[in-house]
Amino acid sequence: MLEAVLILRSRNFPESRLSMPMPQSLALGKLSMTALVFVVATGAPLLRSQVPPAPTPAAASQTTPAAPAAAPPVTQAAPAARPAPTPEQLAIQAASEKDHQRMMDLLGIKELRPGASGSANGPNPANYDETKADLYPSLPDALLLNNGKRVTTAKMWFGERRPQIVELFDREILGRVPANLPKVNWEVVSTTPEKNGDVPVITKRITGHVDNSADPSITVNIDLTLTTPANAAGPVPVIMEFGFSRELMEAMARRFPQPPAGAAPTGPTWQQQVLAQGWGYAEFVPTSVQPDNGAGLTQGIIGLANKGQTRKPDDWGGLRAWAWGASRALDYFETDSAVDAHQVGIEGHSRYGKAVLVTMAYDPRFAIAYVSSSGEAGAKLYRHIFGEDIGNIAATSEYHWMAGNFLKYDGPLTIADLPVDAHELIALCAPRPVFISGGAANHGDGWVDAKGMFLAAVAVGPVYKLLGKKDLGTTEFPPVETPLISGDIAFRQHNAGHTPAPNWPTFIEFASRYMHASAKTP
């Protein structure tokens, strides 16, 4: 696998960078490659969120992540002019706006508050001043039952409080997954013995065909790749990344075949780091389950389950749909003798960081999670006002990740009315280990609010302790690059921008306390 660094520029946001996993098949030989994509938004129409529509070179189903940066631009080279949006992109934008308005009408919402702008010169600049971040200091208490009684035992947590929190996230935030979803038939499309570095591996490309007899006009094929060490003594732990679509990666490789001198990342890739533990790795492509835009809500698994009809206010959004797909991938792993399905971890970055947290929260079979730069609607507290805010998530370019009901909290209700906050989403993962990661604000990751994610990791501590596990071990925000990995909830802010790469070694160190290749199992 390769790492591609995507550098996005726009009128609203000075610059943002994103490291993306890249299928090895795109390599020129075995060299690792860095693709730099420069995008300039000069006059393109903006969606209501003030987050510019992400450039989508190829796939209608794929939105290129674009996290605005708080930091001044890092100059790399003269950016190329941004191509005008294609008719397909404009159609997606128009259909997303129409569906968004339909949901507002359904909920009787006249107006939403605009999201924050990533630029200090924008109309509603994001807050990057810590002294102004705590407008809503009191968090919902994860250990208080709806009737005001305190949760004092694990039995009360699992039997009473946890289901209450699940219901609130289902109804108000993320949406409900329909009962009786179609079956998935897994097909191993190819099995290839190959090498990653010096390590002989077996790579399988696997497709999950979702039964679409309920609506044959909608096709959903889940895209999964699994690589395990060829010489494993038995079934191995696997880390599954939520990865960007092959189409987008291929388009980038066609356009940017040569890395600029010195720009290629050094050191082993995350996959090589995982292999060094004797583990395998996998890549799951969320957009093969559900398109990443509002227009796509009548397609993908959400559309298939609804027979092409539009959503009700508490129907599931994209995050839960992606999580559903990841759970189906785990169903497949349970049938593959190369994988120890009790030791499957998940990792995702940015919007896929949010999706990983949701997956971990709802499917107790996953063993561990690496939640990278997940920000708002991920591990960051909604009540910590720094970087991205609720108005961005409620806007036309992001609302499809959530339940329709979520829009209410961006008008007429407010953040103070949210019945839950991010620490309670993390609480649904307890007692399993979760690693929360973010980059440095002054290097381009301020938008995701590492401090807000840290505070959520602190606030979930009492739930972990109630379940006999260890909390973060501190309530004080540590200096950048301080690993907090001695407990079962872990945190580290790295010193780079919007990327998971620098925290892989720390995550693997943390994960190696829990995951063991069979040869190493005590």
Binding site for ligand GCU (CB under 6 A): 51, 65-68, 350-351, 375-376, 388, 392, 447
Closer to ligand GCU by Cβ: residue 16 or 32: 16
Residue with the shortest CB distance to ligand GCU: 65
299 contacts 259 by C-beta, under 8 angstroms? no
Within 13 A of 522's CA, how many CA atoms are on the CB side? 4
CB of 372 to ligand GCU, least distance (A): 10
Neighbouring C-beta atoms of residue 256, cutoff 10 Å:
17
CB of 84 to ligand GCU, least distance (A): 22
> What does the block give as tokens for 127?
């807050």
CB of 29 to ligand GCU, least distance (A): 30
Closer to ligand GCU by Cβ: residue 269 or 287: 287
Helix axes 318-333, 351-362, angle to 10 degrees: 60
Neighbouring C-beta atoms of residue 309, cutoff 10 Å:
12
Closer to ligand GCU by Cβ: residue 333 or 447: 447
Among 26, 356, 363, 2, residue whose Cα is nearest residue 177: 363
Distance, CA of 359 to CA of 354 (rounded, Å)? 9
CB of 55 to ligand GCU, least distance (A): 12
Token pair 């649904």: residue: 428
CB of 228 to ligand GCU, least distance (A): 29
Taken in order 390, 396, 399, 405, the sign of the CA dihedral is positive
8-state DSSP, 315: B
Which secondary structure element, helix H or strand E, spans residue 268, and what is its range? Answer: none
Among 248, 243, 255, 250, residue whose Cα is nearest residue 36: 255
Closer to ligand GCU by Cβ: residue 65 or 229: 65
Closer to ligand GCU by Cβ: residue 333 or 352: 352
51 contacts 12 by C-beta, under 8 angstroms? yes
Over its C-alpha atoms, the chain yields an Rg (Å, rounded) of: 21
8-state DSSP, 22: E
CB of 210 to ligand GCU, least distance (A): 24
Contact partners, residue 435, CB within 8 Å, separation at least 6: 368, 369, 370, 371, 485, 490, 491, 492, 503, 506, 507, 510, 511
Give whole-number Cα distances, 244 to 171, 250, 349, 400, in Å: 28, 11, 10, 18
36 contacts 52 by C-beta, under 8 angstroms? no
CB of 418 to ligand GCU, least distance (A): 17
CB of 374 to ligand GCU, least distance (A): 7
CB of 378 to ligand GCU, least distance (A): 7
> What does the block give as tokens for 309?
């009809």
What is the amino acid identity at position 95? A
Closer to ligand GCU by Cβ: residue 20 or 459: 20
CB of 373 to ligand GCU, least distance (A): 7
Closer to ligand GCU by Cβ: residue 392 or 493: 392
CB of 376 to ligand GCU, least distance (A): 5
Closer to ligand GCU by Cβ: residue 315 or 398: 398
Closer to ligand GCU by Cβ: residue 441 or 466: 441
Closer to ligand GCU by Cβ: residue 237 or 387: 387
Token pair 């008008």: residue: 411
Q: Cα-flanking dihedrals φ and ψ of residue 469, to 5°?
A: -110, 175
Q: Which residues pair with 205 in a beta bridge?
A: 190, 225
Distance, CA of 504 to CA of 270 (rounded, Å)? 6
CB of 81 to ligand GCU, least distance (A): 22
Closer to ligand GCU by Cβ: residue 376 or 424: 376
Distance, CA of 108 to CA of 408 (rounded, Å)? 9
Closer to ligand GCU by Cβ: residue 204 or 354: 354
Which secondary structure element, helix H or strand E, spans residue 128, and what is its range? Answer: none
